[in-house]
Structures are given as C-alpha cells and as structure tokens.
Structure 1
Amino acid sequence: MKLSTFACTSLAAIATLGLTTSAMAQWQPDRPINIIVPWSAGGSTDQVTRVVAPLLEEALGTEIVVVNQPGASGSIGTAAALAAPRDGYTWTANAIANNATYSVTGLIEDTSIEDYVVYLHVANVPVVSVNVDSPYQDFGELLDAMKMDSVTVGTAGVNSSGGMALAAIQEAAGEELNARMVTYDGGNPAVIAAASGEVIATTQLAVEQTEMIRAGRLRGLAVLSDQPLMVEGIDPIPPITEYLPDMPIAADYFGVFIPVGAPDEVYETVDQVWRDVIMSSPELQAYASDRGAVFAPSYGEDAMAAAMPVVIAEACARVTRGEAVVDPSEIGIDCPAE
C-alpha cells in the first residue's frame, strides 16, 4: 500500500520530532551550578571560564557561579570540587594537565584524569616575557643571563602552566639555570609582578600577558611553541624552538570538568550544550583570537584524546625532574622509555 504525500510528510515530521525530543537536554538544573576556579581572579583559567559561564548559563537555564578558590598550585580548589556532593552542581576548571597530575606531585592523593568528565575549550601557550625596562631584548640574551646570574621568574607555582614552562625550559637547556621562581596565587598577580619590576621575567600563559605586552609593560621574548605567536596589536613573538630546537612541545588544553558520579543525564545534557553552543561560540572564538589562545573545543572521547599528550608529558616530566612522589603508572599514565 502506498502512503499519501501528506502521510509521508507527517511521518517524517513525527520522526524528526522524535529525534529532536530525544536529543533535547534531559537535565533541568533547579539551583545554581558552582564552577570552582582554583586560581585567583584575572588569570588564564578565570578569564576563559568567565567567557564560557554565561553561555552555559543561558543554555542550561540556571545561574552559573564562578568561585575563585586559589592556593597550593590550584590543588585546594580542585580538592574542594572533588569533595563536593557528586550531584552535578559543583564543577571545576583548570588546565587539564593539572587535574591529571596532582597526585603525581602529592598535592592531592589518589586522583587522576579518570575522576572527571572532560570538556575542553581552548589550548593555551606560555610566553617568556620580561619587564620592559630589563636589558634583555631576546630570549637568547635572557637564557645567557640565566646561565650566569640569578634571574627571578614570577609564576603561579610549580604546578601552574608557568611553573611547568619554566621547568621545561631548564630541562631543555641541558644545564642548571639560575632562574629563581617566585610564586603567586595565580597567573595574573605573577604577570603584574613582572610588569611592575618585582620580578625580572614571567613564563605564564599568553592570555594572561597580552594586555601587558600591548600596553608596553612587558616584552615578549619567546612562545613555548614551534610556531610564532601572532596576536593583533603585538609584534610576532618568536617560537622558543629558535633557541632550544629540541624542546618538546605539547598543546596545553583548558576546560571545565565535572567530577564523575553525577546522574547520567547531567553529562548527557552538558555534552549537548558543548556540541550545540560551545563548539561554535563566536564569543569564545573572539576571546581566543584576542588573547593568543587556540579555539579548540571538544568533549567526550575526543577531549580525552586531545588532552593525553600534555597529560603524559607533564606527568613524566615530573619523574624526570625528581618532583614525582607517585609513579604515573599508578594512575594509568605510562611514560615513554628513555
């Protein structure tokens, strides 16, 4: 029996409606969601989280509260998120390498990347910058100074992107450098310290430094990449591989992370929001372009696959540098053979 055109159209409409209904968000939050940023206000994690939060707020129909809880290289706020009820109302935000390696450095016991459902939005790159009044005109001059004199470098702590960047530079240099790390409660105060002359240099992320570089208060010497950093209003910053050609580079992904254990509909709903809103967000793209980040949103298996190179690199670098108190293999990270 043949169906009429009307019947076929009606069935198609019903099928489409069914698909649309099944794809609609199933979780309807009935109170605000807290996103714990374990760093001070104004830093890289705080900046991008405050771009993403209003997008999530509109899509989920509930208030998103960004809570800054800094301390101990981000581990205090992260531990608070892990200790909160697993009901979908407490998330955290960070560089994924931090959350995945806190237990390796002993900052949080018995945790790994598997404690979270991962939602990534941008990749960030550290930049080596100096106070504009310093005598160092390029990274080679700064590196030579670090080999002979004591150079103070502001970071947000050993487990921050800036701290890990400085450690990676020391390792790639192949010799002991006289770079004395001065730690602050976040990337923003570390950058301000360099801009004010309190420290000579900083190795924090580009997104935390671009405004100070544009304003002529910092001089960008090198980006931890194999490509120059191109940001509107700033002269191209050369790649660090011009000076340390064998330095390994892994993209530093940032995102928001929901601890596992919440109802399935929480993750299914956020998956849909990430797919339909975040992955095409003009606001997030504009932020990345303006601040020198890479717009690279993903979720689910794609996010885990994108995150693992930097997770492995950072966890295993801790072992090489003698900073690990837990072998990465105990949390499922196998370091490459020497």
Structure 2
Amino acid sequence: MKTVSTILAAALVAGTALAAPSVMAQDYPTQPITIVVPFSAGGPTDTVTRLVAAAMSEDLGQQVVVQNVGGAGGTLGAGQVAAATNDGYTLLLHHIGMSTAPALYASLPYDPITDFEPIGLVTEVPMTIVARKDFEPETLEDLIAHVKENGENVTYANAGIGAASQLCGLLFMDALDTRMTEVPYQGTGPAMTDLLGGQIDMMCDQTTNTTSQIQAGEIKAYAVTTPERIDVLPDVPTMAEGGIEDFELAIWHGLYAPAGTDPAIVERLTQSLQVALANETVATSFADLGTAPVTAEEATPDALAQRLEEQIALWGEVIAAAGVAAQ
C-alpha cells in the first residue's frame, strides 16, 4: 500500500518532469541552431534563409547555421526535420512546397500539419519567367508563340516535383495548353548555372534568384507573376500585360520546428523571427531581391498554420485539375 509520503514524492517527481521543458526553455538557446533548407545552396529559399539566419543569430546570441538538404522537391529536408529531436535546435525554412507536397506525393515521410510546429511566415516572393540570354523570343508575346509552336523542343528547368519553379511551369504550360520538356535539378541554384551557360532554354523562378542576373543582362526576363510590375524590375511586364490573365503566383516562406517543441521555445523563436524581419539590413536586402518581410502579425504561428491549411486545400484542387499524377 502506498503511503502519503510515497504519493507526494511521486507527484513531486512527475511535476519536476513536466516542468523540465519550461526550465530548459528559459535558458534557450545554449548552443547553435540549425535551419534546414530543403533545396540546394544558392537558390531563392537558401538566399532568404541566410539573411534571416544572420539576423536571428544576433538576437538569440547563438549562431544559426543553414544546412542545405536538397532533393525530391523539398521533401527530403522536410522529412529530416520532422524526424529531428524537438528541442528547438533543428528548424525548417520551407516555401509553398509544404502545401503542395500532399497532392504531389502519394507517400510523404511526414504530415505537414501534424509533424511540425509553425513559427511564422517570413516573406512572399514574386516569380519571374526567364530564359537564356540568346533565346530567340524577345517579348512575352513572342515567347508564348514560340512555346506553342515548338512545344517539347523547349527545355524548362525546375527544382523537381513540388518545387515552386515546377508549379509555376505547370501553370504556364496549362495557360498555353502546351507541354515543354521539363528538366529537374536539385535546386534552382544549379539550374540557374545551366541557364547562364545556355544549356537550358527557360525557367520560372523567384526574384530572389533572378533579379541580379536580369539586371546584369545575363538572362532574359519576360514577365513577373504579380498583378502589377515590381519596383526592382520596372521594365519587366506582368503576365496579364502579355495576354495571360489570372496568372498570379507569390511564393510564401515559413519557419517550422518539429512537432512537440516546447511552446516557450516556439514563442522565443517567433520573437526572434519578428526581430530579424524588422532588421534594416534584412529589409533592404529583401527589397533588392524584389520582395519584403511579412508584418509582425503574419510572422506568427497562427498566421502560418492558417496559410498552410488554406494552401493545402487550394493547391490540391489546382494540381488535380492540371492532371498531375502523384509520385
């Protein structure tokens, strides 16, 4: 029979165990933090992450390291974080691909909703339709005609199934009712290298990966995927200006921790993310890349959770309508 003292002792031990994560959270972080980018180095998500990581490092007093885990349209890196220890030292910065993967992959190694704790939205980046600098079409109208005439003879680079670059290409081909030959890469960083070298015809990618090359005249730009032209690329028309209506696509990015991460740690990371996005260097660098940080109200767990759920439903319908088979 248990005595009162035994019961009290057991309760004390249990209470200590329950309180332990919060005690740990009070000292967090005590070591470097890794943010996994599920794409190769040099791509648009990598660029965004490195800017944010540097600013978060200053705020947290610990180095925030970026680790690139590319492959399978971002699902390999996301799966690695989902399986990581939920102590706040392994995070994921992913883009819209978190919401498209359920419709694109028959079997995912994670559930985007239940296997992650959302920390906050980061930014929404416009896309650009670009091509090698010696590609024959000069305008968006010329490009549309060229793709319709040549179809699968046109090579289109992307970062694999579910990547933003592939989604944009699917929408573009659907608008033209024409198929191009897709050439998948581990990320749009290496794809851009081949585009610059003339080994590939065209690509649709985020301004964070294309702006400097467009401005330098190293690649051709045909259109942006925003309703209006953007300040950093004022001479690049919108898709609507070229005759393709209702083609709008912005690639949102979010920061996540593995499911079960202590709420106090998530709160601290959210605060740090908000500090980073308010950093003048981050804002200026984002502007130079054709984007901007989200507001403090959007850089929250609730805002990211809502965006993810809405976008999973939206892209499920879009991808089904496009007739894309799950891999």
Q: Is the TM-score greater than 0.5? A: yes
* Residues 78-89 of structure 1 aligned to structure 2 (within 5 Å): 78-89=78-89
Deviations 1:274-326 (A, max 9, x none): 33x13412122112110112322421223344555544433322211223549
**Alpha-carbon distance in structure 2 between the residues aligned to 1:110 and 1:76:** 10
8 Å contact from structure 2 (residues 127, 249) kept in 1: no
Change (3 A) 1:307 1:243: farther
1:152 matched to 2:155? The reply is yes
* Residues 108-257 of structure 1 aligned to structure 2 (within 5 Å): 108-116=108-116, 117-149=118-150, 150-173=153-176, 175=177, 177-231=178-232, 234-257=233-256
Change (3 A) 1:169 1:112: same
**Alpha-carbon distance in structure 1 between the residues aligned to 2:36 and 2:83:** 12
SS in 1 for 2:103: coil
* Residues 1-338 of structure 1 aligned to structure 2 (within 5 Å): 26-95=26-95, 97-106=96-105, 108-116=108-116, 117-149=118-150, 150-173=153-176, 175=177, 177-231=178-232, 234-275=233-274, 277-297=275-295, 298-306=299-307, 310-323=311-324, 325=326
How far residue 68 of structure 1 moved from its aligned partner, in angstroms, is 0.8
TM-score between both structures, scaled by the size of structure 2 = 0.84
**Alpha-carbon distance in structure 2 between the residues aligned to 1:29 and 1:63:** 10
Change (3 A) 1:287 1:315: farther
Change (3 A) 1:214 1:180: same
Number of equivalenced pairs? 296
Letter aligned with residue 32 of structure 2: P
Deviations 1:108-135 (A, max 9, x none): 2451244331422211111101111111
SS in 1 for 2:66: strand
Counterpart residue number, 1:12: none
Percent identical across equivalent pairs? 25
SS in 1 for 2:76: helix
**Structure 1 runs not aligned, ≥5 long:** 1-24, 327-338
Letter aligned with residue 98 of structure 1: G
8 Å contact from structure 1 (residues 229, 292) kept in 2: yes
Change (3 A) 1:132 1:309: farther
8 Å contact from structure 1 (residues 122, 293) kept in 2: yes
Q: Which 10-residue stretch deviates more, 33-42 or 301-310?
A: 301-310
SS in 1 for 2:28: coil
Change (3 A) 1:136 1:127: same
8 Å contact from structure 1 (residues 156, 190) kept in 2: yes
**Alpha-carbon distance in structure 2 between the residues aligned to 1:111 and 1:224:** 29
Letter aligned with residue 255 of structure 2: V
How far residue 78 of structure 1 moved from its aligned partner, in angstroms, is 1.1
**Alpha-carbon distance in structure 2 between the residues aligned to 1:88 and 1:34:** 9
8 Å contact from structure 1 (residues 154, 201) kept in 2: yes
**Alpha-carbon distance in structure 1 between the residues aligned to 2:90 and 2:35:** 6
Change (3 A) 1:289 1:248: same
**Alpha-carbon distance in structure 1 between the residues aligned to 2:202 and 2:194:** 9
How far residue 151 of structure 1 moved from its aligned partner, in angstroms, is 1.0
Deviations 1:9-31 (A, max 9, x none): xxxxxxxxxxxxxxxx8352122
Letter aligned with residue 104 of structure 2: T
Change (3 A) 1:255 1:287: farther
**Alpha-carbon distance in structure 2 between the residues aligned to 1:201 and 1:283:** 32
8 Å contact from structure 1 (residues 100, 111) kept in 2: no
8 Å contact from structure 1 (residues 157, 185) kept in 2: yes
Change (3 A) 1:47 1:238: same
SS in 2 for 1:103: helix
TM-score between both structures, scaled by the size of structure 1 = 0.81
Change (3 A) 1:250 1:128: closer
**Alpha-carbon distance in structure 2 between the residues aligned to 1:195 and 1:250:** 24
8 Å contact from structure 2 (residues 128, 221) kept in 1: yes
How far residue 164 of structure 1 moved from its aligned partner, in angstroms, is 0.4
Change (3 A) 1:123 1:39: same
**Structure 2 runs not aligned, ≥5 long:** 1-24
Letter aligned with residue 181 of structure 1: E
8 Å contact from structure 1 (residues 148, 178) kept in 2: no
Letter aligned with residue 59 of structure 1: D
**Alpha-carbon distance in structure 2 between the residues aligned to 1:75 and 1:109:** 8
CA RMSD of aligned residues (A): 2.1
**Alpha-carbon distance in structure 2 between the residues aligned to 1:110 and 1:52:** 25
Change (3 A) 1:81 1:32: same
Q: Which has the higher contact order (CA 8 A, sep 6+)?
A: 2
Change (3 A) 1:279 1:205: closer
SS in 2 for 1:73: helix
Change (3 A) 1:52 1:200: same
8 Å contact from structure 1 (residues 72, 157) kept in 2: yes
How far residue 203 of structure 1 moved from its aligned partner, in angstroms, is 0.6
